[in-house]
Structure 1
Amino acid sequence: MGITNSNKQIDTLQIGCDGTLKVTLALSAAPDISSNPTDIVLVLDRSGSMTGSPLTNLKAGADTFIDIIDEATDSSQDGNIGSGSHIAIVSFSDTAVADTQLITSVADLKAAVNALSASGLTNHADAFSVAAGLFDPMSSNAKVIVMFTDGKTTSGPPPAPVAAAARAAGIVIYCIGLIGADGIDVSVLNDWATDPDASHVAVTPDDSELEDLFADLAANISRPGATNIVINEVINPDFVITSILLPTKGTAMSINPTTLQWKIPELGVSGNEGATLEFYIRHISQSSGTKPVNQSITYSDTEGNSVTFPDPAVKVDCGITVTPEPCPTPVNFTVDGCEDYTVVDLGDTYLESTGRIVELNVTVRSVCPYKRVALGIILTEIDCNGSEYPRGVKTFTIPAHNYPACRDILVKCIRFVLPNDLSVSCAAGRGMCGARNLRARVIAHNIDTDYKCCDTIVTV
């Protein structure tokens, strides 16, 4: 079978600017189908949400899957599943139906797939039950269920116990999920699938990718278990690798802050087998946005398995960034090769960041010794109609003085910035030359006081 599934997952969809997330790489592999006969049941969702292109693309994917298995079992697409393997079709909506038994006729399998129509609810439990019932318990063939669905369970009993019973009976379960109208709960698919979950579940938001998902799975089922696996992972340069955990199979090492290599001597050579690697990365850029985790990831093995890993992305929130002055618009010009002197007219330019800085002084009268003062200034701008617009507020603590008597305190250099884009001046269009009418209000009061509450003394 070769590599039967590959996956890459992250443990969170959103992090802060310097946040960390866990990345999980997973693979599963199984022996060659031509020397290890396998019975496969394709379990296909035909509920109402599959109407239109989802069902069309599902049929194309299932047909491609059947063709690949046909060729893999006897080295030719001769219309017959060979080498003792079989395929069955089960479809489901409100209930499940065995559209075929475990058979070898490619024509009959494709006819069953292409006859499907979409309607009704989604009964996963019945789908697993009907599929598991098609296997011959006396057969030595490997047993595989490929469950495809585009939604949550909306009919029938909970499917998890039925899937668990199938796995306990030695059936390997893969799940392909299409994020349909009512959504896919990936944790539920993981619960149904054979462990390790990450290497037995593939999910796509785009039904046009279904044919590729089915093709990858069938191509990998048809190859032998993989040997001399090498995976080179290069993460997005906005991240660095902070730690690499011990993989369940093979060895992993860091090549540089953004690159790791995972080597597995063999996987799935003598039976179905999975492997996972977990590592942690931290965001180091200062920019926000939805960012892919991968820059690139490559796979190789001796058997030439074709492996594609998903490309998860994480939303990074670095807060609000304001760039008040954009870069100037450049003027392009050319100096001829033989000229050592040239004159270029760069056209007009304008003063940037125009506005005013207002500096205010105020005298606070009769401030008594040993008393701090709270001072506040509220600045507004007046338009032609007398309406006021806020332009700023500042508050200060004036330290207490220790002169023997009350005295005036001069507070100097209280600055307000008035950008020109806030101007409501009546002299429109005059820029820096237009008058701006401002109004300042001053509030001041003592912070400290000699007042103390009288204690109530009761004498009996």
Structure 2
Amino acid sequence: MHAVNLHGRKPARRNRLLVAVSTFALALAGSVVMAPTASAAPVPGASASPTSVNRYGVSTVTLTLDGESSTQSTPTDLVLVLDESGSIDGGEFNQLKAFADDVVEAVADDGLFTNGGRAAVVGFSTGAHTVIGLNNNEATVRNAITGNPQAGGTTCISCGLNQANTVLGADDPARNQVVIVITDGNANGGDPTAAAATALQGKATVFAVGVGDGVSQATLETIASGPGNSNTFSAGSFADLAALLETLVAAVSVPGATNPSVAVTLAAGWDLVPGSVASNLAGGSIGGVSANGFTWSRANLADENLVITYQIKHEGAPCGPLPVNSSVVYNDDENAVVNFPPVVVTVNCLPPVADAGADKNVAEGSSVLLDGSGSNDPDGVITSYAWSGADAGVGTLTNAGNAIATYNGLDDGADAVTLTVTDDNGLTDDDSTTVTVQNVAPTLTLTSCPIAPNAVNTDVSFAGTFTDPGTLDTHSMSVNWGDGTTTPVPAVSSPVGATHQYTAAGIYDISVTVTDDDGGSDTKNCGFVVVYDPNGGFVTGGGWIQSPAGAYPADPTATGRANFGFVSKYKNGASVPTGSTEFQFKAGNLNFHSNDYQWLVVAGQKAIYKGTGSVNGNDGYSFMLTATDGSPDKFRIKIWETVGGAIVYDNQLGAADGTDPVTALSGGQIVIHKG
């Protein structure tokens, strides 16, 4: 409330603690007088700063209430009743008028005229008169006060009260009606003060101000609507009236709210920061403080702006635009309805960062670990991992719900696998890695190859199995029989096998290749396949060779002359050849003699036969002799232990069994006889 000095100058404005009063009651002479005072609900406001925070961030919430006094909220009619009796000298009367002027200015500052209020002035002494009737212009009323002359005479307080009653007119429930009576003496003897006061108090709130010691407290309480210092005021002299200005005007401009309270309950996702609740008005109290809210309360709220601040901290979930307050409940004794606007603070939670790891290579039929443990959440924790996207034609995933999953390669190809991570706020992120499944060739095993010699034009067969870790692969097979014939098989599965007939005698190598649909293959050879023609030619030979170094492993340095003689042929209808073979290497003290033959192959100018024999009279040896009839004739003999395979002699050591001989005869002859 503005404090105004008697010379019309306003000191600095300060907030007053205005008591919210809805009714004034006065018990005088057994009667109760009611005077209505209306008020409006405080105007609320709410905001937060900042309005956007990170997860676990803090924002400051501000609630405001713009309170009003009765002169602001409800049109108020104010009547000043001034004592003009002769007991007041001219100087004192001027002080009285200055005080009355200050009162009008102060209530104007409180909004009396701007909110539809009016003011009037009544003077009384022996009688009473209206200085100015109810008027809504501040300047007009103040000018009337300044220009009012003193009447002089005795003190008829009832006259002043009755005149004020007349000026106010009929009781209007929609308006506040207030009367201030200022006097320096008691009423004339027999003055019906009480009756006049009772009539006036029925529709107006009456305040009584006594100046000096010529007026009793009893008279003041008779005039006023209530006893004691609520409605009565005293000044030692007219010069002291200025000290009553603020208190008197505060009593006239009654507060708009009595016992107001604001109960704040925070919404889910927020906690109250301990010790952060504060308000700007003295006399307020804060109670019921918990993580979920608090309650502010005060005895009254008038023409003043309440500011309540408190800090809220995000609990970590959820995110996005979040209401701050679950409820803000206002209460006062006037049952005012106040609805605070909602406050929303946006919480910017950071999503997790998925890391599916480096690209991986894996062979068909094998597995590789996919490591997503490098994923992180910058403002929380990752709660779930989900690997997906494996192509069923390339690979599969296991442990797909873990940070580290297993990728199982099925077939060659590049497979993009995605890792999705979810944090404790439900936010997600994806990252992909490429798994390249590399083809693995099938593995072929020949389980059965021709071992015994086979006659021409008879079935020669092989059998085998194969495996392939690429479980989705398909396979084909190709068989090279070694005689210029190749058999393709477009589609095969394990086991495999094939049959062929040779039309010419010879030593052949069966080559089997299994190929998968990705181009991977494996080839295995049967090796030495003997095909003979029992009706074909035969071979004879005799002479000597120069045995090379290394031919005799027992003494690799041994060289020199080695003599030989042999004959090998099929008798009519026989499946096993007959004949005899002798070989002597004196440098190695080696004397070999054949015991029997197993097979003979004569093909063109080349003959190969195999059998068993003895070395230096001891059995248990096998041999193979290869001879060519040419220019020059050439000879090779390989002798080995039948059990264990240790080489005893081979003048072409290390060469494959079917290789043409390279050692030319130093003497003698080899003849291929046609059949």
**TM-score, normalised with respect to structure 1:** 0.41
* Structure in which a larger fraction of residues adopt strand: 2
Taking structure 2 as the reference length, the TM-score comes to 0.28
Question: Which has the larger share of helix?
Answer: 1
